[in-house]
Structure 1
C-alpha cells in the first residue's frame, strides 16, 4: 500500500483459506493521494516469509484524463481533471466505509483491476466499493456517484 508522496507500507502475512484470490491494483486520486494494493497467495510451507514487492508506478502520461478528488467524512467533493499515467487507464469512483462514521469518497485514475470492487477490506477494515468508467469521463460520473453515495448514506443511517 502506498499513499501520496510518502511511501507508507502496511504488510500483513498469515494463513489464508483455500479460497484465497490474488488481487493487485493502483489508483491516483485527487489531492495527490496515490494508492497501491497487492494481495497474493502461495501454497508452499512458509512461503509467506518471502519479501513482498509492490510494482513501481509509471510517471508517463497515457492520454487519459479523469475527474479527481478526495474527501474524508463527506459524500461529495469538487473534482479537477487528472492526467492518468502508466496502466491506470480507467476513471474510478471510490467509496470507503469503516464503521458507522468514517467515510472516504474519491475519484481519479486506476488500473482496470481496481474496477467494480465490492466490500474489499483493507487497512483496519475499511470496506472499499469502486465503480469505473472509460477514461476521459465527465460530469455525469459525479452525478452517478452522488446517487450511489446517497444510497450508501441512507443504508448506513438505517443500520
Structure 2
C-alpha cells in the first residue's frame, strides 16, 4: 500500500511539473513585442516544449520579418534543438529565410532562431527559381546556385483559420538533409506556417519544374507583380500562437 501511495505522489508531481511549463508566447510581423521575454503558463494541450521561429523575406523588394514564440505539444528530443533552418534564393535580391528551434526549460524560447548565411562560392548547380501565388505564376526561370546548395520547391500556406494565402516558391537553398526529410511530411506546420509541399533535389533543373529550355534568366522581376507578399496582406493572416 505504501509503495502504491509513493508511486501516486511521484506521478502527481510529474504531471504538475509538466503542466507548470511556461514559455514566451507571442507572434509579430515587423514589430518588436514589448513583453517578448515574459513567459506565461502553457495550455494543457501544448505544454511539452517551447518554440521560437523566425521568417525573413525580401520577396518583391521589401524586407519583412515574422516572429512566432509559443508552446508546443511536440517532444523536443534535446534541451535545445534547431528544428529547421534554411534560405531559399530566387535571385540576388529575392530571398526567403526560415528558422525554428525547440527547447525544454522554463521560458527558454527568449532566444531568437537564426538562419545560416548563404555561402558565396562558385556556382555549378542550376535550379528553377520563381515565386508566386500558384504554380501558374511560378514557372520556369533558372538560377545557378552555389556548389553546396540544392534545388528546393515548396508550397507554404499562411492562415488564421478564416483566411489563407499561398506562396509557391522555387530556388537554390542551403537546406540540410534532416530539414528536407522533416518538412517533406505532408502539411507540416512549423512557426505558424503550413508547408503543404516541400521537395529537395540535388539534380540540375530536376523534375521540381519543367522550365523552357531557352530560359536562362536569373532574376524574377516578372513574378513580383504576380504575388503580393506584403506586410499588410499577411499581418491579418499571421495571428498565430501555435507552433508544431
Q: Which runs of 5+ in 2 are unaligned?
A: 1-54, 211-244
* Aligned equivalents of 1:59, 1:134: Cα separation in 2: 18
Contact preservation (8 Å) 2:119, 2:146: yes
Task: Give the one of 195, 202, 212 matched to 1:127.
Answer: 195
2:68 aligned with 1:12: yes
Q: Please state how far the C-alpha of 1:104 moved relative to its aligned partner.
A: 2.5
Shift, 1:62, TM fit: 4.1
Question: Does structure 1 retain, via aligned residues, the 8 Å contact 2:100–2:113?
Answer: no
Number of positions where the alignment pairs a residue of Structure 1 with one of Structure 2: 140
Instruction: Please identify the structure whose Cα radius of gyration is greater.
Output: 2
Question: Over residues 56-97 of structure 1, what are the superposed CA-to-partner deviations in whole Å (9 max), with x where a residue is unaligned?
Answer: 33333442221111111x32233222122374x211111224
Shift of 1:12: 1.5
TM-fit CA distance, 1:105: 2.2
| Corresponding position of 1:75 | 135
The DSSP-based 3-state class of the residue aligned with 1:131 is: strand
TM-score by length of structure 1 reads 0.67
CA contact (8 A) 1:61 1:83 kept: no
CA contact (8 A) 1:29 1:70 kept: yes
Give 4+ residue runs of structure 1 displaced > 6 Å after superposition: none
Aligned CA-pair RMSD: 3.0
TM-score normalised per structure 2: 0.47
**Residue of structure 2 equivalent to 1:137:** 205
